[in-house]
A and B are shown apart, each in its own frame.
Chain A
Amino acid sequence: MNNSSENYNYDDRKGPSDEDLLKTFRPASELEETEDIGEFDEAEIKRLRQSGIDLSGSGRAGSFMQTNCTVQRSDCHVQGIELLPITEALKKYDGLKDYWWRLIPTGKDAFTREADQGLDNGYFMRVLPGEKVAYPVQAGLYIRNENVAQRVHNIVIAEEGSELHVITGCATHPHLTSGLHIGVSEFYVKKGARLVFTMIHNWGKNVYARPRTGIRVEEGGTFLSNYISLKGVRSIQMFPSAILAGPNALARFNSVIVAPDGSDIDTGARVILEAPGTRAEIISRTISYGGHVVARGHLIGLAPEIKAHLECQGLILADHGMIHSIPELEAHVADVDMSHEAAIGRIAQEEIEYLMARGLSEEDATSTIVRGFLDVRIEGLPPDLDEELQAVVRKSQKGI
């Protein structure tokens, strides 16, 4: 029934090498049809809405939309934000010297090298000092054609004392099965600024995603990351890394990951607490319906009076599922407060029966618990995503 030690071979699931993967897909910039995107159909609009992107732009301070390598829109209707395709920003700001490849080395791996050499655009966002933007800015990165590699590089700068919520929806066309997304993102949170970054992945069954993310938070700044992936995907591998460079800076990573059969998701976050009084939290909730998940977390305490916590919780709701939780704490000074908790299992019978004792059926009790498990209360979550969450919850009712 379950993987026994003899037939368990993790290498089998690793798939092609990075180099082979890059050869499999053709770069988005080489597509002939990219100049004429035309209109999206109903299914595409819905797909994007479920990824947090509302093409009407309502309830958004600004919108960026890139399909394959073509930027269709990059508009903002509030003061205080600059939103540009990254290629334009590079020209305007003379190569963005202080920000371009400053948090991630170009030679980190095959994918960063690929993004460095062949760029299909990306977005540049900058909130001016002291500007507090009430509505989120949305950025859609959409792969519309089969077998395409989309390579983007994004820069987000929250200047001193500013506030911004960015929703990034990364999706493939509803009927598309195969693709590769390489997304390099660098976030700069200046003194006292607050940046919320919500990213929703909505890929197809044979899609590979390789985001490469670096974050730098200065004194008193806050970076909050929410990551959601509910749909089937072939493979996601990412490990965003945040440096808390100034005193009292804060970073928090929340992720909700559902891995259906055939999905391989290797994700987590690293926070380097470099300055005194900084705080970090990494929280992940993972459900495997037969897919494989590696839930990582690495907290590095380099300064006194820091506080950091790591929490990986996993539910395996189908045979052959695998969750590998790797929480790491690393302290280099004595005066730190660092902790982690990790728990994997099925839903506790005690919890199900507690609800059944109030009259709920076993199915309703189970779905109530799963709904709670996935509830990380993300601010500004699109209502259409809720539909997707309900689908995940309904799936849990079918039992193991």
Chain B
Amino acid sequence: MLQVEDLWVEVQGREVLKGINLQIGKGEIHCLFGKNGSGKTSLLMTLMGFSDYRVRYGRIIFKGKDITRMPVNERARMGLGLSFQRPPTLKGVRLRDLLALYGKDPDVGSQLAAAYNFGRFLEREVNLGFSGGEIKKSELLQLLAQGPDLILLDEPESGVDAENLNVIREMIRRLLQKDLPRDRQRSGLIITHTGFILNYVTADKGHVMMDGQMYCQGNPLDIFERIQRHGYEECVKCHLYD
């Protein structure tokens, strides 16, 4: 599904990714761990193709096609989808209008919103005064309407209150086709700080990022347990002895 080869990226002259390699197969779910500023969000933004993230070297292959220089919207149409951590506010643009633009069926948005108790938000301006949890719900709702094949989630649980946590979980499970564990077609790359997501999403692989580099790959539960016990410094040591 996705292959990243020796990817070097800079943002406004500052190097944020330094030789990233990553492979995600069809139906696989990968988790990204790492401190703030380690390059996790930069990796997702680069995969999606945002203009601030300039690829200096390396390639991104998606569904067998080199998308390294492809515009954002073409990547989205090929099946890449991202849930933003801090999306911009769109004044005067109602969530209902956006959902109608994504789906082929204009009713899909309202049905989804109703299913996740989000109906009253349809008339609100996108992200204007949304709480942390509301932003996550709105992002996931948009992704569900879009229906991507490779789903990039940037800390889907941060800032979500207890009441909304269950809804967010349901939405993520649906996005990642939890009901089709064997025949899952979609893949996922998920940034998580808390690791809570591992409780309800079976991830295939975990990766640790530090200082723009991939430090470690392996069983996500094992990695997360080590990080919890020893902190990220342990990853540095482990990497040194690797």
Residues on A facing B (Cβ under 8 Å): 313, 348-351, 353-362, 364-365, 368-369, 371-376
CA gap between A350 and B72 in the complex, in Å: 12
- Do most interface residues of chain A lie in helix, strand or loop, or is the interface mixed? helix
With most chain A CB atoms within 10 A of its CB, the pick from B82, B87, B101 is: B101
Would you mind naming 28 contact pairs between A and B with Cβ atoms under 8 Å apart? A349-B51, A351-B88, A353-B50, A353-B51, A354-B84, A354-B87, A354-B88, A355-B98, A357-B48, A357-B50, A357-B84, A358-B76, A358-B98, A358-B102, A358-B142, A359-B146, A360-B73, A360-B101, A362-B73, A368-B97, A368-B98, A369-B90, A372-B92, A372-B93, A372-B125, A373-B91, A374-B92, A375-B92
Return A308 CB to nearest CB of chain B, in Å.
20
The residues of A that contact B77 with a CB separation of less than 8 Å are 359
Say yes or no: is B71 at the interface (Cβ < 8 Å to chain A).
Answer: yes
The residues of B that contact A368 with a CB separation of less than 8 Å are 90, 93, 97-98, 101
Neighbour of A361 across the interface among B73, B81, B90, B94, CB < 8 A: B73
The residues of B that contact A376 with a CB separation of less than 8 Å are 92
Interface size of B in residues (CB-CB distance below 8 Å): 26
The answer to whether B73 and A359 have CB atoms under 8 Å apart is yes
The residues of B that contact A372 with a CB separation of less than 8 Å are 90-94, 125
The residues of B that contact A355 with a CB separation of less than 8 Å are 90, 98
The residues of A that contact B82 with a CB separation of less than 8 Å are 357
Return A147 CB to nearest CB of chain B, in Å.
39
Neighbour of A359 across the interface among B87, B88, B90, B102, CB < 8 A: B102
Contact with A along B80-117 (1 / 0, CB 8 A): 01101001101111100110011000000000000000
CA gap between A373 and B126 in the complex, in Å: 12
With most chain B CB atoms within 10 A of its CB, the pick from A355, A359, A372, A376 is: A359
Q: Known: A356-B71, A356-B72. Is A351-B90 also a contact (CB below 8 A)? A: yes
Return B95 CB to nearest CB of chain A, in Å.
11
The residues of B that contact A350 with a CB separation of less than 8 Å are 88
CA gap between A351 and B90 in the complex, in Å: 7
Return A177 CB to nearest CB of chain B, in Å.
33
Closest-by-CB residue of B relative to A349 is: B51
The answer to whether A371 and B90 have CB atoms under 8 Å apart is no
Return B88 CB to nearest CB of chain A, in Å.
5
Return A36 CB to nearest CB of chain B, in Å.
46
- Give 10 closest A-B pairs by Cβ, nearest first: A372-B92, A372-B93, A375-B92, A359-B76, A356-B73, A356-B72, A351-B88, A350-B88, A359-B77, A357-B72
The residues of B that contact A351 with a CB separation of less than 8 Å are 88, 90
The residues of B that contact A354 with a CB separation of less than 8 Å are 84, 87-88, 90
The answer to whether B90 and A356 have CB atoms under 8 Å apart is no
CA gap between A376 and B91 in the complex, in Å: 10
CA gap between A27 and B76 in the complex, in Å: 61
Neighbour of B76 across the interface among A356, A373, A374, CB < 8 A: A356
The residues of A that contact B142 with a CB separation of less than 8 Å are 358
With most chain A CB atoms within 10 A of its CB, the pick from B73, B91, B97, B142 is: B73
The residues of A that contact B51 with a CB separation of less than 8 Å are 349, 353
CA gap between A364 and B98 in the complex, in Å: 11
Neighbour of B92 across the interface among A357, A360, A365, A371, CB < 8 A: A371
The residues of A that contact B88 with a CB separation of less than 8 Å are 348, 350-351, 354
The residues of B that contact A374 with a CB separation of less than 8 Å are 92
The answer to whether B76 and A371 have CB atoms under 8 Å apart is no
Return A107 CB to nearest CB of chain B, in Å.
41
Return A352 CB to nearest CB of chain B, in Å.
9
